[in-house]
Amino acid sequence: PEISNKIAAGEVIQRPSSVVKELLDNSIDAGADHIKIVIQNAGRTLIQVVDNGSGIGKEDIRLCFEQHATSKIQDMDDLFRVRTLGFRGEAMASIASVAQVTLKTKRHEDDMGYKYEIWGGEEKSFEPAAVEAGTSVAVRNLFFNVRARRQFLKTDATEFRHILKTVQQAALANPDIGFELIADTDTIYDLPKEQSMKERISGMFGKSYKASLIKFREETSYLTVHGILADPKLTKRSRGEQFIFVNGRPIQHRWLTHTILSIYDTWTGEKDYPFYAIFLEVDPKQVDVNVHPAKEEVKFEDERSMIKLTKSVVKKALNEQFL
C-alpha cells in the first residue's frame, strides 16, 4: 500500500467511529432511505454499512478506492458550494489502506452486481455477484496493519460510545432515512424512515423525551436557526446528548456549546446537560468546513452574529414555554 494513503488515513480515520461516519456520509450522499449498520467488538473486528442508495457502476468501483477520487465535485469552485457530505474523495482510499474491506454493490438499473475486496490497499478480488440494489461496505480488522493505531484505541465501551454518537448524529440530521444499528447480537436502534423530529428523538433517547421537547425556528438573511431542545426539568441529564449541525453536517463548536449550556445554567441555577439539537443553515460560502480533515470543527465567516442569533432564539424558546 502507498505510504501516502496510510498517512492520510491517520488524519481521517482515527478510530472505528471515523469509519462509521465516512460510510454513513457516503450512504446518505447516495440517496439511501434505509441504512443498516452492523458492529462487532466495538468496530474492531467488523463495521458494516448496508444501504439501498444508488449503487456503484462496475467501471467506478476501483476508482472509489483511489486517493482523491470523488464523483461529487467537478472543480475547485464546487468546494464552496458543497451540499454533499463527502467531497474530498479520501475516505474510501484511507479506510482500505488500513483494513480489510469487502464492497458489494449494484445499481438499481443493472442486472448484475459486483463484489470487490481490498486489503491494506491491495486488491484481493473483483467479481460479479448476486447482490441487492445499493451498496454494502464491510470493514474488517481495522488497523490490522498499523499496530500503533490499534494500540491507541480505547476500551470497547469508549469506542462504542463514539460509534453511537456518530449514528445519533446521522439519524438526527436525517429523520427521513431509516436507520438500523446492530451491535454484536443486540438491536440498538430500528428507526423507520420518514419520522418526525420528535418521533426520531424519542425513538433514540426514550419515550420520556417526547413531552419535553420544544421546537424553535428563526430566519435572517444570513442564517436560519432551527431545532429542538428539551426541558431540563423533565429529561434526565446526560452529557453527550448535545448536537449542533451546519448545513446537515454534525459539527463541534465550543463557543456555541458554551453559550447554550450557560443559558440552561442561568435558567435552572445548576450545571445542566439536557438534550438539544441545533441546526444552522447558511450559505456554504459563509462557513469553512475545511479546517479539519474530519470536518468537525467549523468556522463561520461571522461567528459573532451566529452566536448572537442562536442565543436569542434559544432564550426565546425557553421563555415562551416556561414563563
Nearer to ligand ADP, 199 or 296 (CB): 296
Three-state DSSP state, 266? helix
Which is nearer to ligand ADP, 80 or 222 (by Cβ)?
80
Binding partner of 70, given ligand ADP, Mg ion, none, CB within 5-8 angstroms per partner class: ligand ADP
d(CA 170, CA 250): 8
Query: What is 7-52 written as a DSSP string?
Result: HHHHHH--SHHHHHHHHHHHHHHTT-SEEEEEEEGGGTSEEEEEE-
User: What cell was used for 148?
Assistant: 500503533
DSSP state of 192: P
| Residue 318 interaction partner, one of Mg ion, ligand ADP, none, beta carbon < 5-8 Å per kind | none
Give the residue with the Cβ less far from ligand ADP, 136 or 202.
136
Tell me the per-residue interface mask from 107 to 146 with ligand ADP, x by CB under 6 A, - otherwise. ----------------------------x-----------
C-alpha cell of 202? 424519542
Cβ proximity to ligand ADP: between 27 and 247 the closer is 27
Q: Which helix (H) or strand (E) holds 242?
A: strand 242-246
Contacts with Mg ion, residue ranges (CB under 5 A):
25-26, 86, 91
Give the residue, chosen from 17, 90, 106, 119, that forms a contact with ligand ADP under the rule CB under 6 A.
Answer: 90
Q: Judged by CB under 6 A, which stretch of 88-96, 121-129, 177-185, 287-295 contacts ligand ADP?
A: 88-96
Question: What residues contact 188, with CB distance under 8 A and at least 6 apart?
Answer: 164, 167, 181, 182
Q: Give, as ranges, the residues between 23 and 42 that touch ligand ADP (CB under 6 A).
A: 26-27, 30
Please choose which of Mg ion, ligand ADP, none residue 72 contacts, taking the beta carbon within 5 to 8 angstroms, the exact cut-off set by kind: ligand ADP
Q: Report what 282 binds from Mg ion, ligand ADP, none; CB cut-off 5-8 Å by kind.
A: none
When binding is defined by CB under 6 A, the residue of 1, 57, 89, 284 that contacts ligand ADP is 89
Cell of 199: 418521533
| β-bridge mates for residue 227, sequence order | 216, 278
Residue with the CB atom nearest ligand ADP in the bound state:
86
Looking at beta carbons only, is 69 or 197 nearer to ligand ADP?
Answer: 69
236 DSSP 8-state letter = P
Closest approach, Cβ 162 to Mg ion, in A, equals: 18
Closer Cβ to ligand ADP, 89 or 248, answer by number: 89
Which residue(s) pair with 287 in the sheet? 300
Query: Which residue number, 69 or 261, has a Cβ lying nearer to ligand ADP?
Result: 69
Least Å distance, CB 88 to Mg ion, is: 7
Q: Which helix (H) or strand (E) holds 4?
A: helix 3-12
Q: Is the dihedral of CA 49, 55, 56, 57 positive or negative?
A: positive
Contact assessment for residue 134 and residue 32, using Cβ atoms and an 8 Å cutoff: yes
Of 236, 156, 169, the C-alpha closest to 35 is 169
Q: Going residue by residue from 48 to 87, which x/- string records binding to ligand ADP, judged by CB under 6 A?
A: ---x-xx-x-------x----xxxx-------------xx
Is 37 or 277 the residue whose CB approaches ligand ADP more closely?
37
d(CA 1, CA 122): 6
Cα separation, 233 vs 269, whole angstroms: 11
Binding segment toward ligand ADP, per CB under 6 A, in 22-30, 38-46, 146-154, 272-280? 22-30
**Quick one: cell of 127?**
467479481
CB atoms closer than 10 angstroms to residue 267: 18
Cell of 221: 438573511
Where along the sequence are the contacts to ligand ADP (CB under 6 A)?
Answer: 22, 26-27, 30, 51, 53-54, 56, 64, 69-72, 86-92, 135
